[in-house]
């Protein structure tokens, strides 16, 4: 099948990227939270990212100090976003807790952050009176909202303000290419990152449904790892090698956009 795919691309006049292994990556889902600090120093983390070819990394952490430590060591590689979790206990209540909103507003005064997230949100939470203020804050300051959410919650964010820019974590975790495509059809300021979505390339071969969607929306997808637990740091190089393998099955310009350019443009760090 692999040989057949290569022959088809040659016939169509499209050459597979011979340097897929060298593509610079923008990893749009990295955490450096407190449990990681005792295992990996900032220097060790930056070394892992560099060795894996990650030229930019969108980083958030619980608490935010981990993000700041990495950014201070390498402000060019690290793209900070502000996670609204002072402790893990905030995960289920951040969007309705006035104290968390005050905390985020104060941290944003540093002027280093490109987004709010990655946060967890479910459909129905838009009824919380404070969520509208969160969206208004993101729009006013030009911040991307990085949402670990179902499709219903994403729709509710856009209902609060259609101008908001949303990066949909894990492509909704369980949403397939049909549902993701319908969301992209509806919302022009929605981007999608693919951390942990092994169904994109099951058994190493790019899924035909996902491939068709990437070609349809080449400017709206990003790659990601999600170092949600310390063990993910050791797995990161191999995981990204798998990402590079399925990127190599796409036309070179599409592969470059998904690997790096889309996230760089979204976060204004080209």
- pLDDT tens, the chain, 270 aa long: 333 333 333 233 333 333 446 899 999 999 999 999 999 999 999 999 999 999 999 999 999 999 999 999 999 999 999 999 999 999 999 999 999 999 999 999 999 999 999 999 999 998 899 999 999 999 999 999 999 999 999 999 999 999 999 999 999 999 999 999 999 999 999 999 999 999 999 988 999 999 999 999 999 999 999 999 999 999 999 999 999 999 999 999 999 999 999 999 999 997
DSSP one-letter code for 83? -
What pLDDT score was predicted for residue 113?
A: 98
CA dist., res. 262 & res. 270, Å (int): 9
- Dihedral angle of Cα 115, 120, 124, 126, to the nearest 10 degrees: -20
What pLDDT score was predicted for residue 177?
A: 98
What pLDDT score was predicted for residue 127?
A: 85
Cβ partners under 8 Å of residue 229, min gap 6: 35
DSSP percent split of the chain into helix, strand, coil, nearest 5: 50, 15, 35
What does residue 81 show for φ and ψ, rounded to 5 degrees?
A: -125, 155
Of the candidates 66, 97, 75, 74, which has an alpha carbon nearest to the alpha carbon of residue 84? 97
- DSSP, collapsed to helix, strand or coil, labels residue 119 as strand
CA dist., res. 261 & res. 270, Å (int): 7
CA dist., res. 21 & res. 245, Å (int): 8
**206 Cα distance to chain centroid:** 19
What pLDDT score was predicted for residue 18?
A: 35
DSSP one-letter code for 201? S
DSSP one-letter code for 259? I
Question: Which runs of consecutive H residues, i.e. helices, occur in 12-92?
Answer: 34-37, 42-51, 65-73
- DSSP, collapsed to helix, strand or coil, labels residue 148 as strand
What pLDDT score was predicted for residue 68?
A: 98
Peptide bond just before 63 cis, omega within 30 deg: yes
What pLDDT score was predicted for residue 22?
A: 82
Q: In terms of C-beta density within 10 A (0-12 exposed, 13-18 middle, 19 or more buried), how is residue 97 classed? A: middle
CATH number assigned to the domain covering 2-266: 3.20.20.140
Question: Which runs of consecutive H residues, i.e. helices, occur in 24-130?
Answer: 34-37, 42-51, 65-73, 98-108
What pLDDT score was predicted for residue 21?
A: 60
CA dist., res. 19 & res. 63, Å (int): 38
What pLDDT score was predicted for residue 7?
A: 31
Q: In terms of C-beta density within 10 A (0-12 exposed, 13-18 middle, 19 or more buried), how is residue 48 classed? A: middle
CA dist., res. 110 & res. 99, Å (int): 18
What pLDDT score was predicted for residue 120?
A: 98
């Amino acid at each position: 099948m692999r040989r057949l795919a290569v022959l088809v691309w040659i016939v169509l006049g499209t050459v597979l990227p011979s340097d897929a292994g060298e593509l610079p990556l923008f990893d749009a889902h990295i955490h450096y939270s407190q449990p990681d600090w005792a295992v990996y120093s900032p220097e060790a983390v930056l070394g892992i990212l560099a060795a894996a070819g990650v030229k930019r990394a969108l980083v958030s952490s619980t608490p935010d100090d981990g993000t700041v430590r990495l950014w201070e060591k390498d402000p060019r590689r690290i793209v900070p976003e502000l996670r609204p979790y002072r402790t893990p206990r905030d995960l289920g209540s951040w969007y309705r807790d006035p104290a968390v909103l005050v905390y985020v507003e104060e941290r944003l005064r540093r002027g280093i952050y490109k987004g709010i997230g990655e946060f967890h949100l479910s459909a129905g939470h838009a009824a919380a009176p404070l969520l509208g203020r969160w969206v208004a804050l993101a729009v006013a300051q030009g911040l991307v909202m990085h949402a670990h959410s179902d499709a219903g919650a994403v729709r509710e964010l856009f209902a609060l303000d259609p101008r908001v820019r949303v990066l949909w974590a894990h492509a909704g975790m369980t949403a397939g290419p049909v549902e993701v495509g319908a969301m992209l059809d509806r919302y022009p300021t929605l981007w999608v990152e693919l951390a942990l979505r092994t169904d994109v390339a099951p058994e190493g071969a790019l899924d035909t449904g996902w491939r068709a969607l990437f070609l349809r929306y080449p400017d709206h997808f990003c790659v990601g790892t999600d170092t949600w637990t310390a063990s993910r740091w050791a797995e990161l190089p191999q995981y990204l090698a798998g990402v590079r393998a399925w990127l190599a099955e796409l036309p070179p310009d599409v592969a470059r956009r998904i690997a790096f350019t889309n996230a760089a443009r979204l976060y204004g760090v080209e």
